[in-house]
Structure 1
Amino acid sequence: MFFSILLMVAAPNSPVQSDIQDTTPETAAQLKKGVGAILRADTAEARALLMQIPEQELDKEDRQFRTCALSRLGPFQARIEHNHHFEEALLARYRQYWNEAAAAGADRDRLEDALRTDLANMLHLERSAQWDSVEAALVAALGKRGYHAQLGRTGLLRELMVWRKQIEKREQVDLPGGTTQTLVTYLDDFDSRGWSSWFTCDRTGTGGWTTDEGLFVIVPAYKSLDDEHFRINFLAHESQHFADKARYSGLANWELEYRAKLVEVALADTTLVRVLDGFAANQSGNPDEPHSFANRMVLEALRARLGCAEGASLATVPAEKVKAAALGELAADTDARESADDATP
């Protein structure tokens, strides 16, 4: 495993011991806001939100999360030794980029270009090699060492996921538009689960993704592969992506997320409150942040359909009404797309 990286981390204050049994609802809401900022790659806001939380108001698990997250949100310098394995140096370099780019905002393009140049050097390519060539060579290099990899981009940052094991299964998934057969590849034994998982110390992060071939599941991201969280929040969500990509052309990433998140709300039972809370804690007005932007758009659409005030919580609305609103909004979106396709010469 190549988790053992020499990192010089700015350590947070030592945790305050507490006898608290449960994190208060107010503090839990603040934690969710901090996680939401992390998922928007805004580590300055995330660190400020987490630093405002008194540790004595957190239970043991949340206190450990806060300490770990603050250590990763703070500035650090990666020390890559000459005797490091390729995998160790690679992960150290990506983590340094994640930390710097998530704090940099407008300077991200320069940091991304510096990462590309360093990877080209590591892979013995021309320094001017572009991302397609660099990532293809990186996948090949990791493959020779027994790894699988997912690169590209997640949200605003360049991604690095690396694992050793995977198996394929064909799953039957029920969606609002009908039942679909989906090829699912289950991925396990990870050395890197990506930037969002790293910043949040595996508390949250990418649960999988969709390609033209099927779905890919990050197994350690789920406590169970049989519960509603997996069946609805991942399997149905990603299967909707798969169906939409086959049915429509040119959908923006946020539009794909918008439709899949409506499916989550329409089908959820035990996870409905958690799903809506998650949407509320992670919103953005920037379409380049597809998950966060779709969260905002879904909540606005549901409030409008339910006659709720702008910014109102949906917690007091009966669950069946919220689910029916999501189903109606999805149907309306589908009808609009079908009509547009019919009108296209």
Structure 2
Amino acid sequence: MWKRFKNWLHWQMHPLPQSLREFKQTISVKGFDFELVPAQYQDVDEMVELEREAYHGEEPWSADIFHNELHRSRERLYVVVREPETGAMVAYIGAAFRPGIHEVHITNVTVAPHWQGRGIGTFLLMYMMTVAKQIRFNRMSLEVRVSNTSAQRLYERLGFQVVRRKAHYYEDNGEDALDMAQILGEKQMDFTFRNETTTEELYAIAKAAYKGSPWSKQTFANDLKSKFARYMIIEADGEPIGFVGGTHLGEELEITNVAIVPGVQGQHLGERLLRQWLVGFDAGTRILLEVRQGNKRAIKLYERLGFIIYNIREDYYRDPKEDAYLMDVTLPLAAE
């Protein structure tokens, strides 16, 4: 009881960070660009209408309930996906944060019928998983209708398991609900790696990871034609979520790109991808790269792998102007 009280007290003093309640982010899901923003009161009417469309005329939640949820900004987070050109709402997800038990409970995941089956629901769930881990919540839960087998398959792919069955949970028709949950930090997804890729795939991942790809589509196309280009894709449950690329000449390999999509950043997947990729090169190969001086997270990652800074290029980067650290390591990498 005392531990739960301390957790609650800490949450009252340190609620959801402001950065999670005030942001605007461009994302790319399966080649489509969207805007990701926190839900506002003015979004409620569209959220209610989207629920009606997605659930075939039913209205699981009223506008009053949504307004109440958004008002509880200390322990609630609702995020909306919109088309950038039209501003139309494509999807949203909501979560309740329960500090006493360090649990994030998914209250809603709704995707417009036209956009269902295109990975948007998966992206939003993975986004909430990342948020939960960042604020050190270790459990995620949700309810799903017994009849909604497609949603159950999605949740199972992401690591959720059935905990119990709630009889007559849904008021509209008395249908039972499955209570599903998972412990974050355990293996949730199956990761696979491959070397084959395409220009479109690389550009879509880079555009999502960097909020606008540092390389054009033509640059990727030209690079793939080179006999010296080397790439590796990381997939989660069959979905590409990142890549690493470089140029291999003789006994040197220059890393040109490392990209992980936003929904799964912060889970050490970049390190996992680099280690998997570099196993394929001979011991004694020198690995080189450039990194922005202010990119502390990436620098820490490279240092864990054994990279050291051997030079600085002043004003190397543009928009914004910034120095580059030149780093290198000779294989094999430092142990995990």
TM-score, normalised via structure 2 length: 0.30
TM-score, normalised via structure 1 length: 0.30
Higher strand share goes to which structure? 2
User: Which structure: larger Rg?
Assistant: 2
Higher helix share goes to which structure? 1
Kindly indicate whether structure 1 or structure 2 has the higher relative contact order, using CA contacts under 8 Å at least 6 residues apart. 1
